[in-house]
Copies of this chain bind each other. A is one copy, B any other.
Amino acid sequence: MRETYHEALSKVVDDLVSMTNRVQTAVDGATVALLDADLTAAEKVISEDADLDRLHDDVENRCFVLLARQSPVAGELRTIVAALRMVADLARMGDLAAHIAKIARMRYPKHAVPESIEPNFQRMAVLATEMTEIAGRTLRERNILDAEKMADDDEEMDTLRTMQFTELLGDEWAHGVQAAVDCALLGRYYERIADHAVIMGSRVIYIVTGLHPEGDNWSIA
């Protein structure tokens, strides 16, 4: 019985890792859709978001069963509680990638992002994917250091967001209101994907150590 329990829990963690891979693919696809004005890529991200939602429901239900089935010991309990939250983070990250793809689709065949601000979004996208990858790897390897490294990426993400506003609201912005509004929302979506990746890192630290890291975004769900 204990072994089956462990196996079921271990399967939950494996599924979270594979959901993380799917989220990475979704963020990459959304970025291609956005920066190449690629309608097929946009449609793919949007339709595959439903798979992530189904996976979410499945993993969530299995966590409930594990919580109900027998009194889990401390480490198991932490893992299940963290898993319940990570699966919600991952579903949300998928939604955010789909939001990005929807803006790309809405503006197609035009580019939603003007050329002058493309490098900024390109870098935001690289960071968002990298941070998601770190979250997945940290979970797989239960490696605390990777989660800490993520803080640097997050700081760069904040800087990019500030630079974005400087450009959008500057006198030299010649792309009109619609492009500015699109960029402000797109930047917000990438930023939130990164936030969730940071939170996922915190949740892994919690699984491993039982402690919430100081000064993290733990309370932001």
Contacts and interface: CB of A to CB of B under 8 A. Distances in A.
Contacts of A188: 185, 188
Q: How often does this chain occur in the complex, in copies?
A: 2
A125 B67 CA distance: 38
A221 B88 contact: yes
Contacts of A91: 219-221
Contacts of A184: 181, 184-185
Contacts of A219: 53, 56-57, 88, 91
A71 interface: yes
Specify which of A176, A178, A218, A221 lies most central, judged by the most chain B CB atoms within 10 Å of its CB: A221
Contacts of A95: 220
A145 interface: no
A90 to B, nearest CB: 9
A168 interface: yes
Interface in A78-95: 81, 84-85, 88-89, 91-92, 95
Q: Is the interface of A mostly helix, strand, loop or mixed?
A: helix
A1 interface: no
- Chain A's interface size range is 35 or more
A128 interface: no
A7 B77 CA distance: 22
Interface in A187-218: 188, 212, 218
Contacts of A64: 77, 81
Interface string A49-67: 0000100110000001001
A170 to B, nearest CB: 9
Nearest to A88: B221
A89 B176 CA distance: 35
A67 B57 contact: no
A221 B59 CA distance: 14
Q: Which 9 A-B pairs have the closest CB atoms?
A: A88-B221, A71-B71, A181-B184, A177-B180, A91-B219, A53-B219, A56-B219, A169-B178, A180-B181
Given A70-B71, A177-B180, A185-B188, 5 more contacts: A57-B218, A64-B81, A67-B67, A89-B221, A95-B220
